[in-house]
Structure 1
Amino acid sequence: MNESATLTRASQRKLATASRLTALCRQLTAERGLNGFTIEEVCSEVGVSRRTFFNYFPSKEDAVVGVDEAGETRRFIEEFRARGSRGWPAVIDDLVDFAIQATNAAGLGSAEHAEFVAILEREPRLLARVIGMGRVQELKLVKLVSEREGVPLDDPLARAAVDVATAVLRSTADRLSDPRVAADFGAALLDSLAALRAVTAPAAS
């Protein structure tokens, strides 16, 4: 067996283990909440050691999210910069697109979406972890936006673009448990953005 084949199999085993850990953590969080189970319980069920768990995820929250947040953020920054300045509406579009990419990377398909809604009802703070829109991340986004658009860090338009994207994300999160909302987070997010633009559009003369 050559070295590349060995590495591929090792990577596949690692991915499979991470997927099992995430699936169980999501199930238990939906049923009991984050404080309702222990890492030891997860490790025993999956058949790995506590040390192995922490080789994959630094916390239960990260295991539930199930995505390489740092890696996803790096990829977004590179892509965001590469898209270049195309006007302020495009900034908001790009930020929303990142949120959709992040939820997709976290494995939120149709079945997983229903489970994740139950998780968010118990632990709404997890959504901020998935989409990386905490307060610290917001400040980093303002800096990133101002750099791409060529404006000062304190430019109100850069702050406003991030605030709008954040408001849309939080509004969508609040609506996720409503059965009338679109069947997946990405579609619901785009619906929220379209609604915002509709109500803020200039009145027809």
Structure 2
Amino acid sequence: MSESATTSRVERRMRKTAANLTAVSRRLTAERGLAGFTIEEVCSAVDVSRRTFFNYFASKEDAVIGVNPDDEYRLFAEKFLARGAGEWPQVLNDLIDLAIQHIESDEMDPREHSDLMVALEREPRLLARFIGLSRDRDRQLRGLIVERQGVDGDDPRAAAIVSIVGSLMKSTADTFVDPANDQDFAVILSSSLDAMRLVLAVPTP
């Protein structure tokens, strides 16, 4: 087996372990609140050691939110920048395409997203942290767009794309967790993007 194949297998296993720790942490927080369970309970449910937990997350709060920014951000940034500067609609296309790749690789579960929303409502400090992280990600994304397109940092087109992506992801998540929904996240996201394009194609009066 090649070194790259071995590395990919290890990376997949690590992503799966992190995802399982987050899923259990979200479920327990939604059910009991942060103070209602221990890290040992999470580890037992995922069948890993306490030491393994701290290899991935610094706290229960980090596990609930799914904080693992460095590696994921670097990988995303490399893929996004590698596509090169282009027309502005293509920037949006690439962002949605990369989001779908990430979602499909993680096999997103509607229950997990619902648990996160309940956990955020139950724990104000988690909500505040989540909002702060979302703002940080928006700033990072805007910076990547500016870098890729070679425009000024205050270019309104970069800000507009960040806003569009955020709105699309939120509306897609709301539809995804609806009990009546039977579509994958990626399908809903693609459909939402198509609808947005249709609306924006209408000439300005």
TM range (shorter): 0.7 to 0.9
Q: Following TM superposition, by how much is the alpha carbon of 1:94 offset from its aligned partner in structure 2, in angstroms?
A: 1.6
2:168 aligns with 168
Letter matched to residue 153 of structure 2 = L
The CA distance in 1 between the partners of 2:35 and 2:184, in whole Å, is 27
Q: Is the 8 A contact 2:26 2:116 kept in 1?
A: no
> 5 Å matches for 1:179-190?
179=179, 181=181, 183-190=183-190
Q: Following TM superposition, by how much is the alpha carbon of 1:80 offset from its aligned partner in structure 2, in angstroms?
A: 0.9
SS of aligned partner of 1:134: helix
The CA distance in 1 between the partners of 2:20 and 2:143, in whole Å, is 37
2:97 aligns with 97
2:159 aligns with 159
TM-score, scaled relative to structure 2: 0.72
The CA distance in 2 between the partners of 1:170 and 1:91, in whole Å, is 19
Residue of structure 2 aligned with 1:114, choices 68, 92, 110: 110
2:86 aligns with 86
RMSD: 3.8
SS of aligned partner of 1:116: helix
1:52 aligns with 52
Judging changes above 3 Å, is the alpha-carbon distance between structure 1 residues 36 and 95 closer, same or farther for their aligned structure 2 residues?
Answer: farther
Q: Following TM superposition, by how much is the alpha carbon of 1:31 offset from its aligned partner in structure 2, in angstroms?
A: 4.3
Identity rate, percent:
48
> 5 Å matches for 1:4-153?
11=10, 15=14, 18=18, 21-22=21-22, 24-29=24-29, 31-32=31-32, 34=34, 36-46=36-46, 48-64=48-64, 68-108=68-108, 113-123=109-119, 134-153=134-153
SS of aligned partner of 1:123: helix
Q: Deviations over 1:127-150 (max 9, x none)?
A: xx99x9711111121111111111
1:200 aligns with 200
Answer with 72-81 or 40-49: which moved more.
Answer: 40-49
Mark the runs of 5 or more structure 1 residues left unpaired by the alignment: none
Q: Is the 8 A contact 1:30 1:115 kept in 2?
A: no
Q: Following TM superposition, by how much is the alpha carbon of 1:48 offset from its aligned partner in structure 2, in angstroms?
A: 4.5
Mark the runs of 5 or more structure 2 residues left unpaired by the alignment: none
The alignment of Structure 1 onto Structure 2 pairs a total of residues equal to 192
